[in-house]
Amino acid sequence: MFWLPLPAAGLVVARRVRVRRLWGRGLATADMTKGLVLGIYAKDKEEDVPQLTSAGESFNKQVAGKLREMLNISGPPLKAGKTRTFYGLHKDFPSVVVVGLGKRSAGVDNLENWHEGKENIRAAVAAGCRQVQDLELPAVEVDPCGDAQAAAEGAVLGLYEYDDLKQKKKMAVSAKLYGSGDEEAWQKGVLFASGQNLARQLMESPANEMTPTRFADIIQKQLRSASDKTEVHIRPKSWIEEQEMGSFLSVAKGSDEPPVFLEIHYTGSPNASEAPLVFVGKGITFDSGGISIKPSANMDLMRADMGGAATICSAIVSAAKLSLPINIIGLAPLCENMPSGKANKPGDVVRAKNGKTIQVDNTDAEGRLILADALCYAHTFNPKVIINAATLTGAMDIALGSGATGVFTNCDGLWKQLFEASIETGDRVWRMPLFEHYTRQVLDCQLADVNNLGKYRSAGACTAAAFLKEFVTHSKWAHLDIAGVMTNKDEVPYLRKGMSGRPTRTLIEFLLRFSQNSA
Ligand code: BES
Ligand code: ZN
Ligand code: ZN
């Protein structure tokens, strides 16, 4: 028999040996190297038969009903996110992976605050494409599964793994849309997912590689190749001094690595002088804690403490690729937080750009110190909105874990826009409070106007947000605490273990919707 359903791992190995032997005899064609991922829905009612997608149905016809036959004899109906692989059914696709999509009727779930159907497609396609990658096939065609954007996102996010520094790399699989479906939606999905993958790469890279200078160089290249309506300023220490960003400088001076204030402009609006949106991102390329040094266990994860800068810059690169008709400015204070003879000491007082003095009671609360100056600077562009993203507090992870990004905002409209964007992308946000209650706990300060440490241990994410609020006068501001969503273990099924690049897609979707509403 040529075809073979292979539920067991041992059989997969046997099959690989067989194909190698065929190749050895010179029987392989270019088509021997292509996989196909097809979706199948779960039964809506107990007595129903599971339905293939329309692409699945037409493939089944092409192979004279063999796919359906194989599915029926190879085991129980496929659960959502599960895969089953068949071999030798079709000359162009020696391996066909069928993936479970869950119920066809799945839509927006108002308790989960996401579109369950889209999430199911992302997860199923990711699992199917990884199966193809495990078979070491260099190409895969993917069923749009009724939503080509979600399918592309599943493929491109699911296949990504950071192996830049390994000699042995996973097979690079190129994913294409199967059939003559919605190519535009597929390309949009590729763009969204590639944006998130750029953020993942920046975050995962080790801190000795991803220095402030290197980060700025990469973003400069990415932005320039995305669009010619862009401008990049890589501001050195002397500029930061001229700007009187004493708070940012106080963190940077603890390290031998020079700081950079990265400023990127994308001028997509036909009116170049139209007010921009300003995005700000925390860019600590390594957070040791400084003199208030962190425990050594898992300290390596603090290479991703520039996740705010990575996600906002990637979102702006993506907006430029989409040619959105809006103006956007991205600001990223980039430096390391290290202990040294020059480092901040607990009790030191520093002065931010707006003149406010800050008592640095804990040098590990450095994110708010560098953001304070960047937020002051953001106001100078007279922006429509200011949004900042930061891996700001361990307390955010305690509060929501990786379930959602915490959003602290003084604007209900902005909240609604971010929330709605996140339902679409599945990279969720959840609103958190900006009460005076927390402000009082950072304004109670022995030596300065404001303390970088809250008076009590509780509600660390909220006191950090209250601190940032002291540097914001704009009426449309949102602070995204992304510390909880920084890494993925196995919670998001379509992301492999590692730095997540979240919530890049939500930021891109927000910008896309903003550009459509303001047009
Ligand atoms: N970068 C950390 C926050 C963090 C922790 C991000 C875990 C991602 C995962 C931040 O600079 C920090 O250390 N915050 C302190 C603040 C505290 C000293 C008030 C924290 O959360 O413990
Ligand atoms: Zn810290
Ligand atoms: Zn930090």
Instruction: Please give the chain's pLDDT, 519 residues, in tens.
Output: 334 333 333 333 333 333 444 444 444 444 568 999 999 999 988 878 899 999 999 999 999 999 999 999 999 999 999 999 999 999 999 999 999 999 999 999 999 999 999 999 999 999 999 999 999 999 999 999 999 999 999 999 999 999 999 999 999 999 999 998 899 999 999 999 999 999 999 999 999 999 999 999 999 999 999 999 999 999 999 999 999 999 999 999 999 999 999 999 999 999 999 999 999 999 999 999 999 999 999 999 999 999 999 999 999 999 999 999 999 999 999 999 999 999 999 999 999 999 999 999 999 999 999 999 999 999 999 999 999 999 999 999 999 999 999 999 999 999 999 999 999 999 999 999 999 999 999 999 999 999 999 999 999 999 999 999 999 999 999 999 999 999 999 999 999 999 999 999 999 999 999 999 986
CA of 194 to the centre of ligand 2 (A): 29
Take atom 7 of ligand 1 and give the residue whose Cα is closest.
394
What single DSSP character describes residue 333? Answer: E
Task: Confirm if 478 and 405 have CB atoms less than 8 A apart.
Answer: no
Does ligand 1 lie within 6 Å of residue 391's CB atom?
A: yes
Annotated catalytic, 416?
no
The single residue of 200, 368, 428, 505 carrying the catalytic annotation is: 368
Nearest alpha-carbon partner for 287 in 202, 391, 165: 391
Alpha-helix residue ranges (DSSP H) falling in 135-269: 148-159, 183-204, 212-226, 237-242, 246-252
Does ligand 1 lie within 6 Å of residue 484's CB atom?
A: no
Does ligand 1 lie within 6 Å of residue 366's CB atom?
A: yes
Does ligand 1 lie within 6 Å of residue 305's CB atom?
A: yes
Does ligand 1 lie within 6 Å of residue 460's CB atom?
A: yes
CA of 212 to the centre of ligand 2 (A): 17
Return d(Cα 429, Cα 61) in angstroms, integer: 43
Annotated catalytic, 91?
no
Q: Which atom of ligand 1 is nearest to the CA of 395?
A: 21
Task: Give Cβ neighbours of residue 127 (< 8 Å, ≥ 6 apart).
Answer: 81, 82, 83, 99, 158, 493, 494
